[in-house]
Chains A and B, each alone.
Chain A
Amino acid sequence: MYALREALAAFRRAPLLTGLSAAMIALSLFLMGLFGLAAYNIQRVLQRVEQRIEVVAYLRDDAAPASVTAAQHEIEQYPEVREVLYISREQALRKAQAELPEFRTIFAGLESNPLPASLEVALQPNQEGPQVVESVANRLRAFPFVEDVRYGSDWLGPLYLLRRVAGVATLILGGAFAIVAALIIGAAVRMAIYARRDEISIMRLVGATDGFIRRPFLLEGLFTGVLGGTAAVVLTFVVFDILSGSLFRLEWLPDLWVLGGAGAGALLGVVSSAIAVRRHLGEV
């Protein structure tokens, strides 16, 4: 009860200092929130692009229909594969004419259909990693009637690289901002300890335990962290609302991320306070 009262009293006694601490935590977590929002939306875009990845096996002109049908059934059994479509030469031409109207005159002048038949292989969700795609492509190449296999190998690599970079950047920048927030909380706790040094020295004098002396500072860190975390979530949402209403079509963060952000604020507050208290309590 004493710890709770003192932790709350700290906000009343030094509103500027505690307000500044909470504001700095909010700012740090807000920046993390913005970056998280960007990272999440990049991730979502990549997921949508990934869903469109398919492996296309072009067939020799002399491929026996029975062999192709048997192969189609076999490929459909691969655990990575969602669907296999057989596209005949005529379907390929019709599709090309529909999708490439600017070449209509060229298509009209053709004496024979130059396009090969193909098998279009769509992959299961979350099975679009470069190794998986390549593995499926290699197995398709092994069929004797397959002339060539295409799966966008030239742009698939950079796509996954971009996602990895986004993930690593999230971790590095998130970590950096977390450290900044921890340092700010630590400085605030140090100032709070210094401001209450007389009280702490009397507490020691009359026999208060170390745990008892530390408790108000830990609670203060918790409250500051929760306050900062909540403010950061609100600020991030405001920015999201403004941006998605004007410039971009953005998706709001999943609830778990939001809760995680607020929880991270609280955890950051407590842990930073605990470290600062351990370090600086001996100085007074």
Chain B
Amino acid sequence: MISLLDVHKEYARSGAALSGVNLLLRKGEFCFLTGHSGAGKSTIMRLIHMAERPTKGEVRVSGYSSAKIRPKEIALLRRKIGYVFQDFRLLEDRTASANIAFAMEVTGVRPKVIRAKVGRLLAQVGLAAKSEALPTELSGGEQQRIAVARALAHDPLVLLADEPTGNLDERATRGVFELLRDINASGTAVLFATHNLELVRRNPGIRVIELDHGKVVFDSTAGNGGR
């Protein structure tokens, strides 16, 4: 479903971010992407999201190729990709439900459908009671759950989670991780970038890809016990 084929990415100022990365993420798979800061985790996420193009090589996502995709197709592709960040990126002046609804409003979903779906997503992330709360009235873990709900608004094929627990305490980290596991269990692939090795170690059944200086230095396979 997602493949990176000999992908290189260089920036004019900071130099090579990725060097010859090959990676395949299958439908419904859960995968940790680990490595130190600057190893290239976020670059891979942005390439999959087609926010950037590789300097060399090709990124393929759900039939679209980075070499051929047109701007309008990028917008359509992004509806198949959920994306959550360490800093949540919620709109501060909108309630939890309005933040989730926003993702559908701006892609032309009908209001009736939006209303029904927002309620369902809030229930899925366990925050039905907080639908009218502003982000500033929610804890970090709750904000990340709202961000996850927003990412699920278009029933994505894959959820890109870029350090989603980086700002959370242990309990909230566990809660968000379990939520992502549940989402994965219902068929959505999850690519979970993290440098929280403790979390990785506690979940030995999950595939791990480790990056170092823009190269894949380790790739376990699902079910082999990890590292």
Contacts and interface: CB of A to CB of B under 8 A. Distances in A.
Interface of A: 2, 198-199, 201-210, 212-213
Contacts of A201: 89
B103 A202 contact: yes
Contacts of A204: 51, 78
Contacts of B103: 202, 206
A160 B79 CA distance: 65
Contacts of A202: 89, 91, 102-103, 106
A153 B129 CA distance: 90
A208 B89 CA distance: 16
B75 interface: yes
Contacts of B105: 2
B202 interface: no
Chain A interface, DSSP helix/strand/loop, else mixed: helix
Interface string B130-160: 0000000000000000000010011000000
Contacts of A209: 72, 75
Nearest to B72: A209
Contacts of A210: 71-72, 75
A283 to B, nearest CB: 15
Contact of B89 (A205, A207, A213): A205
B83 A207 contact: no
Interface string B94-128: 00000000110111100000000000000000000
Interface in B49-94: 49, 51, 71-72, 75-79, 83, 89, 91-92
A28 to B, nearest CB: 32
A167 to B, nearest CB: 45
Closest 8 CB pairs of A and B: A207-B78, A207-B79, A208-B106, A206-B103, A209-B75, A203-B106, A207-B75, A207-B107
Given A2-B106, A205-B83, A206-B153, 18 more contacts: A202-B106, A204-B51, A205-B49, A205-B78, A205-B89, A206-B103, A206-B107, A207-B75, A207-B76, A207-B77, A207-B78, A207-B79, A207-B107, A207-B154, A208-B75, A208-B107, A209-B75, A210-B72
A201 B91 CA distance: 10
9 contacts: A201-B89, A202-B103, A203-B106, A205-B83, A206-B107, A207-B78, A207-B154, A208-B107, A209-B72
Contacts of A207: 75-79, 107, 154
A15 to B, nearest CB: 15
Contacts of B71: 210
A206 B89 contact: no
A198 B91 contact: yes
B95 to A, nearest CB: 15
Nearest to B108: A212
